[in-house]
Amino acid sequence: MKFRKTSTGLFSLALTLALVTSIGSSAIVPSTPAADSNNEPVIANADTTNIALDISAPGSIIQVSTNVRIGSGYSADPALFSNEFDFNFNETETSPSPNSNSMGHLSVSSPVKHPLPVRPFVDPLSSYHVTVPPNYVIPDGTGPLRWSCVYNRRNVVMTPWGTQILITKSNGLPIPAPPGSKRPPHPGRPYNCGEMISRDRGIGYGKYSVDMVSTDLRGHVTAMFLIAHSSAPGGGSEIDIELTGLDPTAAWLTVWKGSTQQAVKVPLGFDASKGWHTYSVEWQPEFIAWSVDGKEVLRRTDLWTADPRTPGVEYKLAMNSWTHDEEEDLWAGKFYWPANRRQPVMGQFRNVRFIPAAKLR
C-alpha cells in the first residue's frame, strides 16, 4: 500500500527499472523486452542494489524482485482491522522483526483450507442520492501515524461521476478515540484524507479492477489494494496498485509480505491525473498479474502471499487517497498544500469489479 519509514530512519528503496522499448509511445510494457545488438534485454536506469532479475524466455515480461527491509516501525493500517469497524481483529498493531522472513515461495502454516464465496460483483461507486458508499466502511479519526493526514469520514463523497476521496486542510489538533474504543487518541495531522474498505468477506483469488483518476501533486497517493492482517497465519500480505503525484505517468505495483516490500514502477504511456483509466490485478495461487486498460503490464510468479482459503486469513479490499510525509523523491515525495489551487485535491474511483478465479479459467 505504501512505502513506510520508521522513526529510526531504517529505509531502503530500490530504484525503478525502466523498460526501453521500440514499440512506440503508446505501449505500456512490451510483451517482449526490447533487445540490444547482442539480442540481450535492454534495462535502463537500474540500480542493482537489492535487485534480483529473473528474465525468462523471450516473449515474457521482465520479472523484478526488490527486497526492502523496513524494521520494527512497520505496522498495518489500524483502520483496516479494527474492532471498531467490525473486522474481527484486535486493534493492536503488530511490529514484525526486521529479521522476519523475506518474500519467496513459502508454505502457509495450516494446510486446512476453507471455502470462499464465489460471487462476482460490480459496484459503480456513483449515486445521485447518497454521499457515502453504503457497502464500505469509512474510517474516521484514525490512520497511519507516518502520514501527514488523518482519515475523515466526510472526505469520502459519492457523486454521479464516481466516489471522490478528498484531501483537505486540518486544524492538526489531537482526535479522541470514540467512547469505549481501546484505540488511543490520534495525535492529529495537518491534512484530512480518506479510505473506503469493502464489507465483502469473500475476498479471494480472482481479478479486481477499478477506474481511477489521480493528481499530479507531489506527495499525493491514490491507491487500490488487497491486504491481510499481519497476525494472520503465515503473516500479513498486501497487493497494491498505487498512483503517486510525483510521477503521474507511472504506476507502482507492489506486493508486501510482512515487513518485506516488493515494488515495480511501470510506465503507463499517459498521465493518470488527466482522466479515467482502468487498473486491474489478477491474483491466482500461481501468479499475480497487473493490467492497465486491459493490457497486462506486469506478471509475478516469484512471490508468495497468504492463502485466502486458510482459516484465520481474511483479506480486505480497500481504496484510499492520502498524503505522504517524507521528503524522499524516489516514490511520492512530501505533500505540501498547493498554492492558488482552484480545484479539489482528490483521488477519484468508480466501477469496482471482481471476477472469481474459477470464472477466469
Q: How far apart are CA 143 and CA 69, in angstroms?
A: 22
Name, in order, each residue with C-beta under 8 angstroms of 39's C-beta and a sequence gap of 6 or more: none
Q: How far apart are CA 239 and CA 143, in angstroms?
A: 19
Cell triple for 308: 485466502
The one-letter code for the residue type at 161 is W
Is 242 among the catalytic positions?
Answer: yes
Q: How far apart are CA 266 and CA 29, in angstroms?
A: 7
**CA 70 from centroid of its chain's CA atoms:** 16
Region of 131 please: left (phi>0), alpha (psi -120 to 50) or beta.
alpha
Is 195 among the catalytic positions?
Answer: no
SS (H, E, C) 175-214: ECCCCCCCCCCECCCCEEEEEEEECCCCCCCEEEEEEEEC
DSSP-derived pairing of the beta strands 149-151 and 191-198: parallel
Please count the other Cβ atoms lying within 10 Å of the Cβ belonging to residue 99: 9
Rounded to 5 degrees, what are φ and ψ at 139? -60, 155
84, 91, 195, 238: the catalytic one is: 238
93, 195, 242, 282: the catalytic one is: 242
Task: Write out the catalytic residue numbers.
Answer: 238, 242
